[in-house]
Structure 1
Amino acid sequence: MWLGWIALAILCLQTAFGNDQGAEFQSLNMDRVSPERWGLPASDKYSPIVEISENNFVSKVMECDDVWIVIFHRNGVMKKWKDVAKNFGGAVWVGSVDIELHLGLAEKVGISVAEITEKSNMAVVFPLRNGKKYIAMEDGLLKSSGVPSQAMLLASEYIPDKTTDLTFAEDQMQKFNDWVVKGYYYEQPSKFPVICLIDEKQTPLHVRVAAYYLASHFNFGVVKKRDVAAMRTFFKQVPEPQVYPTFLVLLGKEPSAEEMKNEMFQMRFNVMPFIDKKYGDPNLLTSLVNFLFVANSDYRKNLPGRDPAEPAEISKMDEIRNKLKQRFDKAMKSTPRQPRKHEL
C-alpha cells in the first residue's frame, strides 16, 4: 500500500484526465446536472413547510429519524419563519401546526396556548432518531424557541458534527496528511476528501447533514474564511472564493511507476470545484449532494486505496441514495386526512 507524503500541488482536471476521458466526465463541462439524474428529488420538489396534524404527527415527525422543527401558530406561519424554512432545503424538516385545529397536539409537546398569538409563533425542535424523540417528549425535554435563528441553532446541535477542522497552518499539515491518507487507505470503502470553505463560526447545517448521511464515501474537512489564504499558499491554483460556502473535492493522484523508480513518492491532487451554475445553490443540501454524486460517478474508479473488487452497489452509492430518497418520501409524501368526528 502506497503511503508517501502528500505533495500539495494542484493539477488541472482537464489535463490530468485527458480530452478523451474528459468527454465522458460530467464534471468537465458546464451542463447543469439535476439530482434527478441520481434518482433523487430536485430542490423544487421540497416543500419548505409541511402541514402537521394530529393524524400525521406520529408518522411524519415522531417515527422519522431526521430532525424536525415544528412551528406552532395561530392562523398562519409568520414570514420570518417561512423565509428561514426556504433555506433548509431538506437539511432538516419544517412542519407547522395550527393550534386552533390541533390544541391537543400543542399541549402534548408542552406548548402553552398563551405563547401563541397572531404575531408570535413558537417552534419545537425534535431530535435526531425516533427513539430520542419519544424520550425527550415523555421527559419534557423538548427544546423550543420563538426565534428562527435560535431554532436553527438548536436543530444543528442535534446533528453529530462529522467534519474535521483544517487550518493549513504549517504545524498542522501532518493533521491534513493523516486525514487524507486515512480516508483513502484505512477506511473501507475508500473515501473522497471534501474541503468545505465557510465564512461562519459553526459548520453550516446542510454541511453537517451531508457529512452525516454521506460519511461512508466522503470525509468532510472545514476551512474557515480566515484560513483560506493559508490554504491557498499550498493550493496555489485554487482561486479566492467569491461566495461562501463553497466546496472542493480532492482527487488524489498516486505517483507513477516511473516516479516511484526515481524515488518520487509524493501524492498530487486534482481538484474538482463546486460551480453553482452547474450544481445549484451552495447553501442547499440538494446541491451539495448533487455535486458529490457527480464526483463519485466521475472519479471513484481512480480513487486511491479503492478495492478493485468493490461491489457495484457501493461504487454507485446505492445505500446513500436509498436513505436520502426514503427520508424525502417519509417527510414529503402526503398523508390521507382522517375524517373528524363530526364528519363521520
Structure 2
Amino acid sequence: MLFRILLCVSLCRFAMAASATTDTKYDEKATYDMTHWGLPSPGEIPEIYRCLNHKNFKETVIQSRDTWVIVFTNGTLETSWRSLANFWKGAILFAEVKQHGSVMLMREIGLSAQIEAKIAVTINTQNIGVVFPHGGEKMKRKYKVCENTGMAIKHVLKGLPSEEVVLSSMKEREEFMYFAYLSATPQIPVFAIAESKDVGKLFLAYYRVLAYMFKDYFRFAIFRTDDDQDIFKDIFSDGEPITNLRVPTMTALIPNIKNQEISYDSFPFATEMMGSIDFMSCVYWLYIVNDQYRPDMPRPTHSSYEEEEAEMKAIAKMLKKRATMLNQCNEGELRKEEL
C-alpha cells in the first residue's frame, strides 16, 4: 500500500519534472546470457514456410492463432513479398505455395470458384496473397485475398489485437504509467516512437504482436513523430534534439523509490547492443529488461516472481517450438529441391 501511495503522488511530480528524474541504466557494451530462457536465435526463424499444402493447411494455419499470409506464386516470390516477410519475420508467418500445389490448397481454403479461377490466371504474372488474421478458426475464416503487399499490410494490421496504447498528452502518459505499475502483476512500461506512415505501419504490426504476446508483464505505449514532442522527448532524447533519433525506437522505464522520492531507470533499445530493430531483437530486449528489473519490482502478496518467470518461459518455449517446426520443414524442402 505504501508503494501505491508513493507512486500515485510521485507520478504527479514526474509529469512536471520527468527529465530531471530519469536515468539511463544500460551499458551498450554489456553482454547478456539469455540461454536460460531457451529462445530461438534469429537465424532459426525462416522468412518463408514452404511446406504448406492441402493436407496440413488446417493444422498449420486454421488451428494457429498467429497471423498467416499465404502467397501464391508461379515459382518466383516477388521482391515486395519477400521484403515484407523479412521485415515481419517471427511476428507474422508467411507461406509460399507454388503453382503446381495451389489448386488443392485453394479448394481446402474454400475459395469461391470465381476467386480460384482469378488467382490461377493472375499468378502467371504476379503473386497473390491471402491474409488469415490473428485469432481462432472463426477469425481465420475471415481471410482476405490481396493483390499486392499494400493490401496485405492493411488487412494484417486490421486483424491484429490492439493492446498498445497511443499516447497524445502528458495526462495520458501519467495514467498509463500509473496503471502499469499498479496492475495485479507488475507491468514494465514500454514506450515506442514511430512514424505514422510507411515504416511506421510495418513496425506497428510486430509491435502489436509483442504487446499481445507479453501483455501480462509489459504495458506498451506508442507515440507518433508528428505529435507534440514535449510528451516524449524527455524519455528518449537525453538532452539531444529529438530529430536526431532513429525511429522506430523503444525504451522501458522502471521506478526507483528512495526516501519517498521516485526516479526512473531508463533502459532503451540500443542498436549498438541489440542490432537492428526487428521482432526477434525486440523479444530478446524484453527478456533482458525482464531479467534486469522484474525480480526487484514491488508486487502484491499473491503475485510471485517465480510464477511470472514460469509464464515468460512458456512464451519462449512456444516461440522455440514454432521455429523448430518451420525449420524442420524448410530443411526437408531444400533437400528435396537439391535432388
Same-fold status (TM-score > 0.5) = yes
Distance change >3 Å, CA 155–CA 330, structure 1 → 2: farther
1:145-168 deviation per Cα after TM superposition (whole angstroms, max 9, x unaligned): 11112212211211111111112x
Match of 2:337 in 1: none
**CA shift for structure 1 position 332:** 4.2
- Name which of 303, 306, 318 aligns with 1:312: 306
User: What is the letter of the counterpart of residue 184 of structure 1?
Assistant: Y
**CA shift for structure 1 position 306:** 6.0
- Aligned-partner SS, 1:226: coil
In the alignment, does 2:245 pair up with 1:242?
yes
Match of 2:146 in 1: 145
Match of 1:59 in 2: 59
The farther-off stretch of 157-166 and 1-10 is: 1-10
User: What is the letter of the counterpart of residue 262 of structure 2?
Assistant: M
- Name which of 171, 174, 181 aligns with 2:178: 181
Match of 2:292 in 1: 298
In the alignment, does 2:210 pair up with 1:200?
no
User: What is the letter of the counterpart of residue 154 of structure 1?
Assistant: H
Quick one: distance in 1 between partners of 2:281 and 2:276? Answer: 6
The farther-off stretch of 45-54 and 98-107 is: 98-107
Contact 1:12 1:270 in 2 (8 A): yes
**CA shift for structure 1 position 242:** 2.8
Contact 1:184 1:191 in 2 (8 A): yes
- Name which of 118, 123, 128 aligns with 2:124: 118
Which stretches in structure 2 are left out of the alignment for 5+ residues?
334-339
1:63-99 deviation per Cα after TM superposition (whole angstroms, max 9, x unaligned): 2110100001122222221121111111110001123
Runs of 4+ residues over 6 Å off in structure 1: none
**CA shift for structure 1 position 121:** 1.1
Quick one: distance in 2 between partners of 1:165 and 1:268? Answer: 24
Which stretches in structure 1 are left out of the alignment for 5+ residues?
15-26, 261-265, 338-344
Contact 1:249 1:273 in 2 (8 A): yes
Alignment RMSD, CA only? 2.6
Match of 1:49 in 2: 48
Quick one: distance in 1 between partners of 2:59 and 2:21? Answer: 48
Quick one: distance in 2 between partners of 1:319 and 1:120? Answer: 40
Quick one: distance in 1 between partners of 2:117 and 2:100? Answer: 9
Q: How many residues align?
A: 306
**CA shift for structure 1 position 272:** 0.6
Pairwise mapping of residues 44-123 of structure 1 onto structure 2 (< 5 A)? 44-51=43-50, 52-109=52-109, 110=111, 111-115=115-119, 116-123=122-129
Pairwise mapping of residues 21-60 of structure 1 onto structure 2 (< 5 A)? 27-31=26-30, 38-51=37-50, 52-60=52-60
1:202-243 deviation per Cα after TM superposition (whole angstroms, max 9, x unaligned): 561110000000001000010111236313554462643531
- Name which of 7, 10, 15 aligns with 1:5: 10
Contact 1:64 1:129 in 2 (8 A): yes
Pairwise mapping of residues 124-163 of structure 1 onto structure 2 (< 5 A)? 124-133=130-139, 136=141, 141-163=142-164
Contact 1:77 1:121 in 2 (8 A): yes
Match of 2:320 in 1: 325
- Aligned-partner SS, 1:222: strand
* TM-score between both structures, scaled by the size of structure 1: 0.80
* TM-score between both structures, scaled by the size of structure 2: 0.81
Question: Greater helix share, 1 or 2?
Answer: 2
Distance change >3 Å, CA 150–CA 285, structure 1 → 2: same
**CA shift for structure 1 position 133:** 4.8
Distance change >3 Å, CA 232–CA 73, structure 1 → 2: closer
Identity %: 20
Distance change >3 Å, CA 40–CA 206, structure 1 → 2: same
- Aligned-partner SS, 2:227: helix
Quick one: distance in 1 between partners of 2:263 and 2:166? Answer: 21
In the alignment, does 2:273 pair up with 1:270?
no
User: What is the letter of the counterpart of residue 41 of structure 2?
Assistant: A
Contact 2:28 2:270 in 1 (8 A): no
User: What is the letter of the counterpart of residue 189 of structure 1?
Assistant: T
